[in-house]
Amino acid sequence: MLRSLFTGISGLTAHQQMLDVTANNIANVNTTGFKASRAAFQDTLSQTLQGAAAARNTAAGAPITGGTNARQIGLGVKLAGTEMDMGQGSTQSTGVATDMMINGDGFFVVQKGDNQQVMYTRAGGFHLDQMGHLVTADGAVVSGIKLGATPETQPTAVANVKALDLSPLLNGYDASGPIYGAAGTPTGKYVSYSVDPSGTVTAVRDDGGTDVLGQLTLATFANPNGLEKIGNTEFNMTGGSGDPVFGAADSGSIGKITTGELEMSNVDLSAQLTDLIIAQRGYQANSKTVTTADQILQTLVSLKQ
């Protein structure tokens, strides 16, 4: 009797967790770069009342007893995990030059905090700060490399990731080219800049010339579903995701960068509302199991009266 009671409770817990996952998806239906999740259930260990038995024959081969199957009673359900949907979200055109969208499997690489923790995101709503860095809405700095006369190479490990330095956009240029940092005396300034599909940032001089300043660093993972959500539409690598593979956009499966556009949430609202109904009905059905078990226990207690 108590077994069915606790089995029903496990169903209530699992469907409550499904409801939590679905509610979070619906809440983030308009969140830039958000990836929806779904709850996956599995049954718990069953109680074996009697094990399976093989058939027995006589020495002559005639059957004495046929084989029997095991007698098992399930003990409920549990949340096996949450699976992320890493499919491409819809496109929203903004016309803002620093808004970027990845058409492919890549992630923007960003850093934040005193220890410059490396994180990954699909949300490309950036802006240029007063130091000449592209930053996210919560202040994480976008990573990249310098190009030009002495180009750098894309990092091969997390330890080599560094911020994309676009300070020449603020400092201008001199006879030797773009001025990074505070060094140099500017003889001219940049009037505009653009980012091409490979993530290369090209600045336009006031004399009509152009200089290549740098390139964004993107990353891909062997198992992106294994990434850990850490809030602010950012992810951490885990043992399940594998190590990041860094590279430039428009190469391999990383994808191309489109400016002036953002990748919106990939939440399918109609599917989520359907899951909401499924979670609700599943919860109601399991609550009925608990109620029925309670009524039977009450009947048993009443036998003595």
For the range 116-120, what are the long-range contacts, defined as Cβ-Cβ under 8 Å and sequence gap of 24 or more? Answer: 118/143, 118/158, 118/161, 119/230, 119/234, 119/235, 119/236, 120/219, 120/227, 120/234, 120/235, 120/236, 120/237, 120/244
Query: For tokens 């006879």, what's the residue?
Result: 175
pLDDT recorded at residue 151:
87
Asked if residue 206 lies in contact with residue 173, where contact means CB atoms within 8 angstroms, the answer is no
**Token pair of 232, please?**
């602010």
pLDDT at position 282 over 70: yes
**Token pair of 220, please?**
């891909």
Q: pLDDT higher for 48 or 148?
A: 48
- Measured from the Cβ of residue 173, the count of other Cβ atoms closer than 10 Å reads 22
pLDDT recorded at residue 193:
94
Buried b (16+ CB within 10 A) or exposed e, 242-257: eebbbbbbbeeebbbb
- Mean pLDDT score, 179-197: 89
pLDDT recorded at residue 99:
96
Asked if residue 237 lies in contact with residue 244, where contact means CB atoms within 8 angstroms, the answer is yes
* Single-letter amino acid code for the residue at 136: T
Q: What is the β-pairing status of strands 134-135 and 127-128?
A: antiparallel
Buried b (16+ CB within 10 A) or exposed e, 22-55: bebbeebeeebbbbbbbbeeeeeeeeeeeeeeee
pLDDT at position 109 over 80: yes
Opening angle at CA 130, ends 112 and 237, nearest 5: 15
pLDDT recorded at residue 61:
67
**Roughly how many angstroms between the first and final C-alpha of the chain, as a whole number?**
20
Compute the distance between CA of residue 118 and CA of residue 159 in angstroms, rounded to an integer: 9
Q: What is the β-pairing status of strands 173-174 and 177-178?
A: antiparallel
* Single-letter amino acid code for the residue at 304: K
**Token pair of 255, please?**
């994808």
**Residues facing residue 23 across a β-bridge:** none
Q: Tell how many helices (H) and how many strands (E) occur in the chain.
A: 3, 25
Strand, helix or coil for residue 241: coil
**Token pair of 221, please?**
């993972």
Mean pLDDT of all residues in the chain? 92
Compute the distance between CA of residue 259 and CA of residue 249 in angstroms, rounded to an integer: 13
**Token pair of 162, please?**
């560094």
pLDDT recorded at residue 113:
85
Look at the alpha carbons of 246, 252, 253, 257 in this order and tell me if their dihedral is positive or negative: positive
pTM, to two decimals: 0.86
Q: What is the pLDDT of residues 71-83, one digit of tens each?
A: 989 999 999 999 9
**Res. 91 pLDDT band, cuts 50 70 90:** very high
- Mean pLDDT score, 276-298: 93
pLDDT at position 217 over 80: yes
pLDDT recorded at residue 139:
92
* Single-letter amino acid code for the residue at 236: N
Helix H or strand E encompassing 118: strand 117-121
Q: What is the β-pairing status of strands 71-73 and 261-263?
A: unpaired
